[in-house]
Amino acid sequence: MALASRTGAQDPGEPAARAEPATQAGSDAGLLECDLIMKGGITSGVVYPGAIAKIAETYRLRDIGGSSAGAIAATFAAAAEYRRQTGGGRAGFDAILSAGDELGCRLKSLFQPTPALRPLFSLLEAGISTPHPTFGRKPAYAWAFLTAFWPVWLAMAALLVVVVMQGVATGGPRVVGLQILLVLLLAVAAVIGWIWVLLFETLPKNDFGLCSGLRPKGSKDAAFCEWIADQIDGIAGKTGPGGTPGEPLTIGDLGNFGDCKGIRVAAMTTDLSSGRPYQLPLKTRTHWFSRGEFETLFPARIVNYLCAKGERRIPRATDPKGVPRDLYKLPVGGDFPVLLVARLSLSFPLLIRAVPLWREDGERCVDGRLLLRRCLFSDGGISSNFPIHFFDALLPSRPTFGIALDSLDCERHQQQAAGKDDRKIEWPRIIGVTARKRLSLPSTGSEAPPLPVREIDGPLDFVSRIVNVAKDWQDTLQSRLPGYADRIVTVRLVEGVEGGMKLDMGKPTVRRLIRLGRQAGTLLASQFDMSGHRHQRAITNFSVLEPALASLAQAYLTPLPDRPGGTIRSYGWILTHHGLPDGASGACVAASLNSFADELSELGLHARLRYNAGTSISQLYPSDFDGTVRLVASPDLAADGPRSWGAWCAPVAEIRPASS
């Protein structure tokens, strides 16, 4: 397993050691600080409001992130913390709880399909419905086919009437029977053809999503993107007279508290067209958006803001056919709306439309100019559904809590559910009696329990496991390392009843999950041991740094030929002679490289000597985990910014000169 080190992702310094919690002036006086990561899970995200509100009673939220539904919760939490930092007290966190209660009343109405794709949405609803105790989902599918394709059945009924009447007039029952069979076959063929057109023509035209996020024409209820946009600004307190939202909350708003006091929000998204993930918010000005395309995905006030902040592109004669003429540069950095962090991470494949952005294709050039190509940004969970690597540091100066989601195995967790029907599951039976079976938080200094072994139930489950393992294995193993597992609380949900694709959860279920989230937040706030966590992280990281430094020293001190039969060169010569600029600048670079390499090599030599003497950290603290230090490619693309250097927040007097 690879242990990626990102020392610049978090403040490298910390206040002078004190026994009591550090306090700050303002509305968060007396609070500790923490970061928070939340896993994706579509409707499972209703767990997060209660957890966020409870954690915020003890901790001030600094860096908050997630994927998909976790990204929505992260933006809500960031908005609430922003309100607290701007004098609003806990009003933002109370608003998060209210938003959770609101979901119980209108969760299903948030997902409104594009009218042309409503038949497919009806079939999806049937597939995720609560099974009948006797007949399973067959009645739901039958009703979905009947209501979704009613024009076909109506035409079939009319033809059957004609056929029967003709048969009565002619008196040929054998012919009538064949004609009836032909009508039935034609109806089935028509439905299959309709579904084919929806899947392979209509769905691609709608960027592979049934729901755009905006309400269809004639609908009175807000769809999920409208609702999320209003909730973010309402939670943040950025509203005008009568509570009307104005300009959206931005990344710049969250960061305007000084280098060491700002709020950072991050999420994952996946550019399917480029075959790579991105960390949100985007930081480089490489993407354009079409106003016309965005008007089908985002509320008008958000589109107006983006167009006002972005430079309009002048169309070129070399543009290929299909490039929109209403392209604007996507605002990045401080101008990036917090809503886009949620929406770009939320595009769950097939259910929610992907977000189109345009950028230059580095391999397509006409008349010396790179061509613009359309990129589809889909769900962040495709790349990393639980980005526990966010905000990580070799030595943490504050905890980065994680909230993970898993399924409740009734047999494994000694739980007897009343059945898979939501109406039969009672709160005291599932939660009140067996709450500790629904939550899991390993103790400090230990790994998470071994991964459960689950049977594979049929071909579809086999394919699903392949996809999930391929995309989640890194997150899964990373979150189980010592020093990682002890800060992650796992919430177990009843599969098919709570969360997941369950779009029709009722109010009792939603409230049950919010209460379960509060219990998870309480568990983190009351049982997490920061001193034990820091000790374990030091042991974990140092035990893999030691052999890595020893290996570095060996490579640094071993001369190698530059080619077969060529001159033998050492790293010392390479760093002072190879590929460096001439003059004083080259000498300065060489001195810096050599000095740094010599210091690392010296550390590596001492590490090897300790190993030979049997006193290395890995020998004194043997552990079973497998990890290594390596350079990893980061989805946080920021080519024009400083590389992995965070603000130094320790007192200036603690920064020692290089000569000391």
Low-confidence spans in the chain with pLDDT less than 50: 1-26, 414-433, 658-660
Per-residue confidence (pLDDT) for residue 257, from 0 to 100: 66
Distance from C-alpha of 41 to C-alpha of 579, rounded to nearest angstrom: 49
Q: What is the pLDDT of residue 660?
A: 39
Say what the pLDDT of residue 452 is.
78
From CA 567, how far away is CA 576, in angstroms rounded? 16
Query: Which pLDDT belongs to residue 42?
Result: 83
Give CA–CA dist 515/520, Å, rounded.
Answer: 9
**What gap in Å lies between CA 316 and CA 369, rounded to an integer?**
10
d(CA 321, CA 655): 58
CA 408, CA 453: separation in Å to the nearest integer? 13
- What burial letters (b/e) apply to 569-599, b meaning 16+ CB within 10 Å? eebbebbbeeebeeeeeeeeebeebeeebee
pLDDT at 6: 40
Q: What is the pLDDT of residue 8?
A: 38
Please, what's the b/e burial string for 141-180 (b: 16 or more CB within 10 A of its CB; e: otherwise)? eeebbeebbeebbeebeebbeebeeebeeeeeeeebeebb
Angle at 345 between CA 297 and CA 106, to 5 degrees: 65
pTM over 0.85: yes
Per the prediction, the chain carries an average pLDDT of 82
CA distance 250 to 602: 46
* Residue-level pLDDT at 427: 40
Q: Cα separation of 417 and 440, whole Å?
A: 19
Rg (CA), the chain: 29
pLDDT at residue 474, rounded to an integer: 86
The pLDDT of residue 423: 44
> Which residues, listed in sequence order, are joined to residue 357 by a DSSP beta bridge?
375
DSSP secondary structure letters along 339-408: HHHHHHH---TEEEPPEEEEEEEEEEEETTEEEEEEEEEE-GGGT-SS-TTTT--SS-SS-EEEEEEEE-
Q: Apex CA 40: angle with CA 37 and CA 45, to 5°? A: 90
**For residues 5 and 389, what is the distance between their CA atoms, to the nearest angstrom?**
9
Torsion of CA 247, 249, 254, 258, to 10 degrees: 0
Burial of 48 (0-12, 13-18, 19+ CB in 10 A): buried
| Per-residue pLDDT tens digits for 363-387 | 666 665 678 889 999 999 999 999 9
